Structure 1
Amino acid sequence: MALVRLVLVGAIVLTICYFAISAYSRSVRREKLENRWDEEHPDDLDMAARDTYIAQGMDQYENGLRKRLILLVYVIPVIAVGLIIWFTNY
């Protein structure tokens, strides 16, 4: 029963951490894209082109490595807890 509770609470906490890190990473990436557009086009007031540029950059982010690396939020703690339990018992 304690293992089930550990797994359930752990899954909830890791999911909250995953969504928080994912949202933060997306906002940082979007901010960088906005700043890069503003630096490269200081006099351009075409918001449609700016929005398209940012949307394409975010699409690249969604299919990129950084988004997948955030999934390590689930993997690393599970491995760490598994190793701690294994070393403690053997």
Structure 2
Amino acid sequence: MIGALRLFVGLFVVQSIAYAVLSLYARRARRRKLEERWDEKGKTGSKDAFVERGLRAYDRSFRRKLILGVYIVPWAAIAAVIYVVNYL
């Protein structure tokens, strides 16, 4: 039982690190794309305001929420393996 607890805690720590890295990378990539879009369209006004509006929209997007799959997918896979091994 202690071994399983250590495994689950270790998995959660690794997932948290992966989530943080993916989240930061995705936000940085979105910022870069917004800045490139601003430059290629030749828009007028504040570039920073445009980027901030785009990032707020990104924070509410479904794409951003998909990163939470880092937590869900491994636990679902573990549950599936446990079910298959024990009941099938």
TM-score normalised by length of structure 2 = 0.90
Count of residues in correspondence between the two structures: 86
TM-score normalised by length of structure 1 = 0.88
Tell me the residue number matched to 1:53.
50
What's the C-alpha RMSD, in Å, of the aligned pairs? 1.4
Query: CA offsets, 1:29-51, max 9 Å, x none?
Result: 00100000000117x6x6xx000
Equivalent-residue separation in structure 2 for 1:82 and 1:10 (angstroms): 14
Tell me the residue number matched to 2:27.
26
Percentage identity across paired residues of the two chains? 36
Q: Does 1:77 align with 2:74?
A: yes
Q: Which SS does the other structure have where 1:83 is aligned?
A: helix
Tell me the residue number matched to 1:7.
8
Specify the code of the residue in structure 1 equivalent to 2:70.
V
CA positional deviation for 1:3: 1.5
Unmatched 5+ stretches in structure 1: none
CA positional deviation for 1:89: 2.5
Equivalent-residue separation in structure 1 for 2:4 and 2:65 (angstroms): 28
Q: Does 1:87 align with 2:88?
A: no
Equivalent-residue separation in structure 2 for 1:58 and 1:21 (angstroms): 16
Tell me the residue number matched to 1:36.
37
